[in-house]
Amino acid sequence: METTVLSTERLATRDRLAFWRSVIDDHYVKVDLDLPRRSGFRGEVRHRRLGPLAMTRYRASPNSAERTRRHIARDGCDDVFCFLPLTGEMIFEQAGRKALAQPGTLCLLHGGQPFTLAQPADVDVRVTRLPSGLLEARLPDLGWATCRAVRTTTGLPGLAAAFLEKASREASSVPDVPGLPATLARQAADLVAFSFLVEPDDGLPHDSAVKAALYRRAVDHIDTHLQNPDLTPKTVAGGIGISQRYLQAVFAARGQTPSAFIRQRRVKAARQVLENPAFLALSIAQIAYAHGFACPAHFSRVFKQHCGASPKSVRAALH
């Protein structure tokens, strides 16, 4: 039961997208893949088999993926994927539900149904691929359990997580005893199934938790790129690995829009500079450019709308 290692480390930047797409197609499922930061993308998959189970250690830079019925028709995959994040977060959407997979949770995704995946930051995840039949024999309604996350800090979910982690790490050293890998696979399916049969609904991260996590990442991205005049809702969405439409929903949950938030953040940062005597040598135009405004006149109008005073009058108050 050898370990196969697939990595972008030694590849030229121009070759990484095609290589990573083939890795995902071969070891997971066919998807439309988007790498927001292609120039700096890094990814590695360590793959082992344990009877009918495929166990991988997945590490990757931010990216997003969508699986459609077209992909399902092409590869026919009906397996279930169990995600155990070690670091980072993944946001899944499937069957009208959203789930936040993060350290301390176990999350299922069904390869036989369309889904979207957003990975806003670097992740390190253990992924176990199980034939759907193994779980269907144990879960009366497998569809209910997919795209749900349960906490692994206590109870059966904790046992399931520990078993899968141990099996993943030790798969290469499992004795070559007839029937043993299949037995271990059944035990894994038992633990995963029971985790969802007994875990109460309040053990599940809700949609609000997903949006709160994405909001924090969006704000961090905006603050980091305020000086870039090309910063837009589209580039923010791409930077954190989600669609522009979902970014709008994330901000709408707080009564905001991404565009207005970017303007407010720029004005706030510019005002702090204008009110600081240490920056008196900077002209108002220089301050405007330094905070992502392409036109000083536009900066002055937006600033007055938000602050009730012009940049010139705010600066004059220092004298």
C-alpha angle with apex 86: 83 to 92, nearest 5 degrees? Answer: 40
Asked if pLDDT for residue 302 goes beyond 70, the answer is yes
For residue 119, what pLDDT is reported?
93
CB atoms within 10 A of CB 179: 8
Cβ(54)–Cβ(27) under 8 Å?
yes
Asked if pLDDT for residue 38 goes beyond 70, the answer is no
Asked if pLDDT for residue 207 goes beyond 90, the answer is no
* pLDDT-above-70 percentage for the chain: 92
Cβ(63)–Cβ(34) under 8 Å?
yes
For residue 210, what pLDDT is reported?
65
| For residues 55-75, average pLDDT | 94
For residue 107, what pLDDT is reported?
95
Mean pLDDT of the chain: 87
- Buried b / exposed e over 273-308, threshold 16 CB at 10 Å, is bbeeeeeeebebeebbbbbbbeebeebbebbbebbe
Asked if pLDDT for residue 67 goes beyond 50, the answer is yes
Single-letter amino acid code for the residue at 152: T
Asked if pLDDT for residue 161 goes beyond 90, the answer is yes
State which H helix or E strand residue 201 sits in.
none
Q: Which of 48-52, 135-139, 205-209, 290-294 has the lowest mean pLDDT?
A: 205-209
pTM above 0.85, yes or no: no
| For residues 286-293, average pLDDT | 91
Query: Which domains are delineated in the chain?
Result: 4-203 (2.60.120.10), 207-316 (1.10.10.60)
Confidence of residue 200 (pLDDT cuts 50, 70, 90): very low
